[in-house]
Structure 1
Amino acid sequence: MIIPVQDLPLFKKKALQWASSFDAVCYLDSNGFNDPYGKFDTLIAIGVKDEVTARIGSAFGQLEAFRQNNPGWITGFFGYDLKNEIEQLSSANPDGLEFPDLYFFAPLHLIIIKGSQTEIISDEPEQVFGLINQQQPIIHQEQAAIVLKSRFSRQEYIDAVKGIQEHINRGDIYVTNFCQEFFAEQAKIDPLAIFTQLNAVSPNPFSTFFKWKGNYILGASPERFLAKRGTKLISQPIKGTAKRGTDTQTDELIKQQLRNHPKELQENVMIVDLVRNDLTRSAQQGTVKTEELFGIHSFQYVHQMISTVVCELQEGLSAIQAIKNTFPMGSMTGAPKISAMQLMEQYERSKRGVYSGAIGYLSPDNDFDLNVVIRTLLYNSAKRYLSFHAGSAITYHADPEKEYEECLLKAQAVMEVLGGTEQVDSL
């Protein structure tokens, strides 16, 4: 059912407010970014018609079976540690969140917004529209500042980077993504208010409000992991970050410096090569190509270097298998991929879980679009455990202190909505 909406921003706010009262909701917002591969501006999946929750072991197989039983719209997430199902890997670091490794649901109601057109897919679309319009604005209480802790002190992080660089010098790996967790225990937040503020402070093309039961994923991701459009697969890894300038002239200069920075170019091209290799597992022979190399894209706080790698999908290969063949995304692992993942399990001090995983949807035509879970706050309301990670690419030329500062830069928007960067303490 196509419905007329006069005030789209207000409708989206009311729709999310109504949706958040359900046990499961997936809200995906492109925030007006121009994306040639985007199917919609906003998607809201609400309520559970059917669902699958899986742990490592047979998660992809369970999702394949779930997909066959639910050929319409489904939304959900893949946790990073599904790597242990794909390769001979393990994870023994502490996990404060205890989220499942995979969760997908077929929604009772779906809202799709594209341009000025709004569509409600439901057995009772008129009732859904009426309930959304009846929503009264919620007055959110001001968020008390959250005192965050880090798994690393500044010096510990710098020492760890130096240790990783010794492995690079020995040729064990070429590049890796080293991540640290910021967390708070006994934290009480209003997830809807936090997401609304985060999306205002840092609007990004793969922003996400995801809820199932008392667990929340509040994301401001700028990165696409993998999308399928017809027979075409698209991956857009991000490697290369620079802080925005305070005025137009400085900002443009910083963009040019990023575009020509040897270290940033090096890490981007290494991950592009890794993604090209990953896509060959799902591609028709000879179809893998780089559509854009070293593209500079600007966001609220940072400029990012983004490349686009595409291929034609092998005939007969399922969408789920194509995802599995590329998971986890190269931008969050390193090269060689397996060696980098093994090494990071030794150096990192917490389980990544949903962080470094992917959130998105599969549509009735069997297309899909998945983001990379970065710049994202994770919250288990039952345990009152709040967590987010930040990471940076470590190469031979990396400056350990600058990599630490890059982590803080990437965490800036999340820290701001939680009460400011001055709240970060080390263990």
Structure 2
Amino acid sequence: MDYFWWLNVYDANGCAYIFSHPKRVLIFEEGDPKKFFLEIEKFLKKGFYVAGFFTYEFGYYLEERLKPYCKRRLEGFPLAYFGVFEAPKPFKIEKIQQANTVHFFDIALNLSFEDYQRIVSRIKSYISSGDTYQVNYTLKYHFQFKGHPRDFFFRFLRKQKVRYACMLSTAGFSILSFSPELFLEKRGSILRSSPMKGTACRGQFLEEDEKIAQRLSEDPKNRAENIMITDLVRNDFGKICEPGSVWVPELFKVERYRTVHQMISTVEGRLRKGTSFYEIMKALFPSGSVTGAPKIRTMEIIAELEVEPRGVYTGALGFITPIGDFLFNVAIRTLILKKDGRGEFGIGSGIVWDSSPEEEYKECLLKARFLIEDIPEFKLVETLRFDPEHGFVRL
């Protein structure tokens, strides 16, 4: 079977990188994850690149306490999927030709606002009992589509160039990730992560936009959520980095995207000599920005309360070089498009003690705007009005 893979990472010159015609495909379905990582490392030592993804549920296999949840996964979808490649070819994004239209229809959100309210109340009961401080709860859009996934990927990238966008295409499915969030980057012995926590809409005018960004950077709730996750990531770095080497070069930085402002912080550290890729992922995957804190107990709560498995959403997509350097995004703003014409797209937000269900639900819909503005059909789902007595009312 011939697979076409695309992984695109923007450098200073605006280049993307194409991995195609894999020599082998490595798939993890169940069993010992350490053996899977050893298989990856075997090909790296032979001079190959490895590129692909880990689903969120792959994380259950990296923590003994989460093993009871290993059966929770998307049916018919691998937990991890990597191709083994020769060196990638650089490609200028400007060379992309005009793409054909992709049509989306039968679009539905998998949770009503009323059910969402009940789940937020349940999360707050866990917070009250001391089980967790923050739960990143996710929803999903399900839809049908017609057209080639590559056409939508190209069309979208012309309008919204994000730093960690990539597309992976196989015989059975395609993954389109428009993620602005860095999960992990390793260069030599230096490891870096940039968790994203804190969201606000863009303003209509420059002055309004600047004020919104300023409010986000100073907002106590968003700062508290951001520092909570930054501390979690910093603690995870401490498990695998040299003592005293972990630091936070950026805190509460606001980045602007087409439809939202996002607050990020950056954690860096120097890896202990001899630390393996498996040990790094065991300590850090999945990203704390998509779980909450404390991570393990919160992942148990997520497994109990979320309507369905996340799949690749909030997992990670990326590549590893023959010398062991790597780059992985956090798979947010990520679509799965299946060969049979079905697709899904996840959205979520962090629930804390003082969270308002109305505001959190609106934040979820806000995070979908980047997609909605480029897919007119999604506006049918987005047309909601909040009423104090009746909650969200479809217009």
Give me the TM-score of the superposition, normalised by structure 1: 0.83
Q: Name the counterpart of 1:99.
A: 77
1:25 and 1:307 mapped to 2: Cα distance? 31
Counterpart residue type for residue 249 of structure 2? E
1:400 aligns with 2:357: yes
Give RMSD over aligned pairs: 2.5
Q: Secondary structure at the match of 1:47?
A: coil
Counterpart residue type for residue 144 of structure 1? H
1:58 and 1:271 mapped to 2: Cα distance? 28
Cα deviation for residue 416 of structure 1 reads 3.4
Q: Name the counterpart of 1:343.
A: 301
* Kept in 1: contact 2:44–2:321 (CA 8 A): no
* Kept in 2: contact 1:147–1:424 (CA 8 A): no
Q: Name the counterpart of 2:53.
A: 77
* Kept in 2: contact 1:358–1:370 (CA 8 A): yes
Q: Secondary structure at the match of 2:336?
A: strand
2:9 and 2:158 mapped to 1: Cα distance? 12
2:159 and 2:358 mapped to 1: Cα distance? 26
1:330 and 1:319 mapped to 2: Cα distance? 18
Greater mean alpha carbon deviation, residues 101-110 or residues 78-87: 101-110
Structure 2 spans left out of the alignment, 5+ residues: 385-395
Counterpart residue type for residue 55 of structure 2? G
Counterpart residue type for residue 256 of structure 1? Q
Q: Name the counterpart of 1:16.
A: none
Cα deviation for residue 23 of structure 1 reads 1.4
1:93 and 1:149 mapped to 2: Cα distance? 22
2:270 and 2:86 mapped to 1: Cα distance? 33
Cα deviation for residue 346 of structure 1 reads 1.3
2:99 and 2:162 mapped to 1: Cα distance? 25
* 1:390-414 deviation per Cα after TM superposition (whole angstroms, max 9, x unaligned): 0101111211111111111111222
Cα deviation for residue 176 of structure 1 reads 1.4
Q: Name the counterpart of 2:393.
A: none
Q: Secondary structure at the match of 2:373?
A: helix
1:362 and 1:94 mapped to 2: Cα distance? 25
* Kept in 1: contact 2:236–2:284 (CA 8 A): yes
Matches within 5 A, 1:144-223: 144-185=103-144, 187-223=145-181
Give me the TM-score of the superposition, normalised by structure 2: 0.89
Give the counterpart of 1:411 among 352, 363, 368: 368
Q: Name the counterpart of 1:48.
A: 22
1:143 and 1:285 mapped to 2: Cα distance? 51
User: Structure 2 vs 1, CA of residues 215 and 365 (structure 1 numbering), >3 Å: closer, same or farther?
Assistant: same
User: Structure 2 vs 1, CA of residues 364 and 179 (structure 1 numbering), >3 Å: closer, same or farther?
Assistant: same
* Kept in 1: contact 2:50–2:84 (CA 8 A): yes
Q: Secondary structure at the match of 1:182?
A: strand
Cα deviation for residue 68 of structure 1 reads 1.8
* 1:85-111 deviation per Cα after TM superposition (whole angstroms, max 9, x unaligned): 112220565736x32111111224621
2:346 and 2:34 mapped to 1: Cα distance? 25
Q: Name the counterpart of 1:281.
A: 239
Counterpart residue type for residue 159 of structure 1? R
User: Structure 2 vs 1, CA of residues 62 and 139 (structure 1 numbering), >3 Å: closer, same or farther?
Assistant: closer
Cα deviation for residue 47 of structure 1 reads 1.1
Q: Name the counterpart of 1:358.
A: 316
Matches within 5 A, 1:362-381: 362-381=320-339
Counterpart residue type for residue 280 of structure 2? A
Cα deviation for residue 61 of structure 1 reads 2.2
* Kept in 2: contact 1:221–1:376 (CA 8 A): yes
Structure 1 spans left out of the alignment, 5+ residues: 1-20, 117-132
* Kept in 1: contact 2:173–2:338 (CA 8 A): yes
User: Structure 2 vs 1, CA of residues 189 and 283 (structure 1 numbering), >3 Å: closer, same or farther?
Assistant: same
Cα deviation for residue 379 of structure 1 reads 1.3
Q: Name the counterpart of 2:264.
A: 306
Counterpart residue type for residue 158 of structure 1? Q
Counterpart residue type for residue 84 of structure 2? A
1:305 and 1:138 mapped to 2: Cα distance? 33
Q: Name the counterpart of 1:24.
A: 4
